[in-house]
Amino acid sequence: MTPDQAQRVIEEALAQVAPDVDIGEITPDTDLRDDLGLDSLDFVRFVEILSQRTGTQIAEDDYPHLATLASAIKLLAGG
């Protein structure tokens, strides 16, 4: 998966989990939980959507890599 594809998948998942969030306002350093106000259930749903869309299981050990947009892109793009 390319970084652009990863970003698209992340943005689509966030739009489902947090429909009130303006995706255009998210920067690479945006904290996906704190800045977007995702509670733990929203975050788990976000991870499940990412797993479904990418076809890969995201382990709980990888959750810290989903902290920001940049780190999430890096995780999904394999870099």
Query: Residue 64, Cα to own-chain centre: how many angstroms?
Result: 11
Compute the 3-state secondary structure of the chain and give helix, strand, coil in percent, each to the nearest 5: 60, 5, 35
Boundaries of every domain in the chain: 3-77
Give the global pTM. 0.90
Task: Write down the CATH number for the domain with range 3-77.
Answer: 1.10.1200.10
Helix (H, G, I), strand (E, B) or coil at 31: strand
Residue with token string 């869309």: 53
Per-residue pLDDT of the chain (79 residues; tens, 9 = 90+): 999 999 999 999 999 999 999 999 999 999 999 999 999 999 999 999 999 999 989 999 999 999 999 999 999 998 6
